[in-house]
Amino acid sequence: MKLLALEASADTVSVAIQKDSDRVQDQLPASSKSSSWLIPRILQLLAESDLSLHLLDGVVFGQGPGAFTGLRTVCSVVQGLSLGLKPKPIILGIDTLMELAHDAFSQIHPTDTLSLQSNGRSNTVRCLSILDARMGQWYVGAYERVNDQWLTTAKPLVCDPLHLVVPTAWQGRDFIVSSNVEPPILEKIMGLKNLPPAAALIRSSPSARLCLDLAMLGSTLYNASMHGLASPLYVRERVAFTTLERSLIKPNVVIEG
């Protein structure tokens, strides 16, 4: 399987190439120059892997939710490849928050990232994924890993930290939290909300590597649409405050203290 993965949902822009069992990857901090860096680096990594664009079986990308500019940049590149390559590669958008869940699972079970079995029974791993959405908000989604597949328990949404909730069905059950938010802030919010403490707080951020991991998990890639548009997943309409609004915002001592 020959795959290209792109991810720019948070603070970095990353590229990864999978050629059978070999993988190369690179990333840079997200900036206004990311679009000028991205395509040349894709071509360079493909050359290092002895591949060309026309040999790709699929293109995988972080679909969001996440940074508005990063998502648009990646989707533009993916859509251009989809329209320009023949034969057309499979195009697969990956839920950014599911990437965080998978990364947390991999960190906790580094030698068993494909399967988690106990006494012949499949254990359910629950993960609450939280990504800093800026503007004083978080992107939140809830996921469960069952029989080596990730299932969405609560679809991605955007909320103020003090409106954070844990799925009702998880009450009394262990779950982990995977996030790029600082752990002390997460612990403080969960305490203020009287939420059950997480079994573990895992630091994570979206990456092209995680996109590849999820694409290759089970039959995910083979179930993807070969002709769908590369569209971002937005869960809020506003992407920035006006200059006046920014000047009126007071520091939030609750989540930053």
In the predicted structure, residue 88 carries a pLDDT above the cut 70: yes
Domain extents in the chain: 2-96+207-223, 99-203
- Tokens encoding 155: 């679809």
Range in 20-24, 217-221, 224-228 with the lowest mean pLDDT: 224-228
pLDDT confidence of 245, banded at 50, 70, 90? very low
pLDDT tens digits for range 98-142: 999 999 999 998 765 444 444 344 579 999 999 999 989 999 999
Question: Which residues have C-beta within 8 Å of that of residue 45, sequence separation ≥ 6?
Answer: 15, 16, 17, 24, 25, 26
Q: In the chain, what are the helix, strand and coil shares in percent, each to the nearest 5?
A: 35, 30, 35
Specify the pLDDT at position 37: 84
Taking a C-beta distance cutoff of 8 angstroms, is the pair 46, 85 a contact? no
**Cβ-based neighbour number of residue 32 at 10 Å:** 7
User: What is the CATH topology of the domain spanning 99-203?
Assistant: Nucleotidyltransferase; domain 5 (3.30.420)
3-state secondary structure of 65: coil
Return the axis-axis angle of helices 96-108 and 208-215, rounded to nearest 10°: 80
- Tokens encoding 214: 């999820």
Q: Using the 8-state DSSP alphabet, how is residue 123 labeled?
A: P
In the predicted structure, residue 241 carries a pLDDT above the cut 80: no
**What is the value of pTM for the model shown?**
0.86
pLDDT tens digits for range 33-71: 777 789 999 999 999 999 999 999 999 999 999 999 999
- Tokens encoding 87: 């034969």
Specify the pLDDT at position 46: 96
- Tokens encoding 171: 């009450």
Was domain 2-96+207-223 assigned CATH 3.30.420.40? yes
Same fold, 2-96+207-223 and 99-203: yes
